[in-house]
Copies of this chain bind each other. A is one copy, B any other.
C-alpha cells in the first residue's frame, strides 16, 4: 500500500529558498580582525543567485564540480549553498593538504572552477599549473591580476563577476540522491578517498544537527564555525544554520586563540565547533587573559578524542559545556554526541560525557569481532564499529566506476576502523584504531589504554604500544618507552605499575626503550614505522617471563 504523501525531494535548492525568505533576517558574519562583515540570509540568497548565474555562464551545469580554496567567510558560505542549489557539486578543498595531495584531489574530483581567497593566492598559484581540469579561477577578496594563469585558465574577480549578474536564479529541484558536495578523507595511508554527499543526506544530516540530541540549533543561536568548511562536510553547520535560522559567525583566517577570543567577546556566539587543539589554545589564552565566555551555551568538539581535563576546565573554570562528539568524513560527519542520560549527575554524568556519545536513530551502529560476528552492547565487549544510515557513505568516489577500498564496507555497513565498546544504554567508547588493536588469543587489547596507563608512570615521557607476532597468542603487545629526561625505570617495574590496571593476560611481556616515538607529519604516533623498525630488528626488546 502506497502512502498519499507528496513525493517532494529533499533539496538544497529548497533550503536556500527557505533560508533567504522565511528566515531571511538571520545573518552570516565574517570577522575582519577588528569587526565583522555581515550579510543577511536574504542577501546570501541574492548573492547565491548571482554566483549561480555567473557559474552557468562559465559553463557549470548539473553535476559539475565547483572547488573552493578558502577560509570560513561570507563568500565561502555563498558558494557552499549556491553550487549544490544549482545542481553542481561543491568541493571544498582542504587548504592544509600537502601539495601533492591537494593536486591529487582536485584532479580526481575533476574540479572545473575554483574560488580562491585573495590571501591564499600565492599558495594556490603553485598548485594551479598541475590542476588538469580547472578552467576558471574566481578570486575572492584579492587582486585577480596577481595570478598568472596557465594557458586555457581564465581568472575572474568575484565581486565583478557577481555585480554583472541578476539576483534571482531558477534553482532546479533535482533527484534527492544526486550529488551535492564532496569531501576527501585525509587518510594517513594511500591516496585521499572521495565521499560524495547527496541533497538527501545533507538535508537529513542538517535536521539531525538541529536536534537537541546533537547540537540543538534554533533561530536563537549564533553559531561560531571554527571548524573549516572543508573539514568533513563542515560538520553540517552551514546547512543546519540555514535550516534552523541560526546565524553564523565565521573567523576567516583569524584562527589563533587571541583573535578568536577577541571575536567572541565582540560577537557573543551561543555555540561553537572546533577540534580539541583549538580549544586547548583557547584555554591557555583564557588563563592568560580571563574573559567571560558564558555566552556559549555549548561547544561541540570532535575530530579526535577530547581530554577529560579539558572538558572539566571549560565547565569548572568558564561555565561552558563541552559536547564530545564522534564522526568522520564518511559519516557526514555525525555520528554520536555525548549528551548524558536524563537524571544522571556528578561523576556518573562526567563518565557519560567522556564517552564518544550516543548515536541518533538515523545512524545504526554495531560492533563486529574479527570473525565477523556482532558483539553485544554490554559496555565491555570490544569490536570494530560499523555504521549504516542515510548519511553514511556506501562507497568511495570512483570516476571510472572501479571499486575503491571495498574492504571498508561490510554487507551495507561502513567499517569505521575504530575499535570500541557500546554500553547497554547506547554510549560508545572508542579504545583504539582497528589496525592498532592487539589481537591476543582471540581477545582484543587496546594499545591506547596501555599507552595512557604506562604514561602515568613518572619516569615515562612517551609510550607507544604495537602488536607483534606471537607463536602462541597470534599477537602480543610490545611497549616502546621514551624515558623522561634523567629518569630511569626497568621493564619489570613498569609492568608492575600496570598490574592493578589490567587483567593479567593483558599485561605486556615485551618492552623496548627508545629515544623518541616516530611521528607522522601531523604529530601522531607513527606506529607503521615502529612496526617496521621491529620487523627489521632495529629495536632492542626485553621479554619478561
Residues of A within 8 A of B (CB): 1-8, 10, 14-15, 17-19, 21-25, 62-63, 89, 177-180, 194-198, 200-201, 204, 207-208, 210-213, 216-221, 242-245, 247, 339, 341-342, 358-362, 364-365, 377, 388-397, 412, 414, 424-426
When the two chains form their complex, are residues B2 and A196 in contact, meaning their CB atoms are under 8 A apart?
yes
When the two chains form their complex, are residues B7 and A244 in contact, meaning their CB atoms are under 8 A apart?
no
Pick from B14, B25, B196, B213: contact of A5, CB below 8 A: B196
When the two chains form their complex, are residues A361 and B177 in contact, meaning their CB atoms are under 8 A apart?
no
Pick from B3, B210, B213: contact of A177, CB below 8 A: B3
Indicate how many identical chains form the complex.
2
- Name the distance in Å between A89's Cβ and chain B's nearest Cβ: 6
- The A interface, classified by DSSP as helix, strand, loop or mixed, is loop
CA distance A185 to B196 in the complex (A): 42
Known interface pairs A2-B177, A3-B196. Does A19 touch B361 (Cβ–Cβ under 8 Å)?
Answer: yes
CB pairs A–B below 8 angstroms (8 shown): A1-B62, A2-B177, A4-B395, A4-B397, A6-B412, A6-B414, A18-B361, A211-B218
- Name the distance in Å between A423's Cβ and chain B's nearest Cβ: 10
When the two chains form their complex, are residues A391 and B359 in contact, meaning their CB atoms are under 8 A apart?
no
Pick from B4, B211, B341: contact of A394, CB below 8 A: B4
Pick from B178, B197, B211: contact of A211, CB below 8 A: B211
A388 proximity list for chain B (CB < 8 A): 6, 8
- Name the distance in Å between A271's Cβ and chain B's nearest Cβ: 12
Residue among A63, A341, A412 having the largest count of chain B Cβ atoms under 10 Å: A341
A219 proximity list for chain B (CB < 8 A): 213, 339, 341-342
A392 proximity list for chain B (CB < 8 A): 5-6, 8
Pick from B18, B195, B196: contact of A364, CB below 8 A: B18
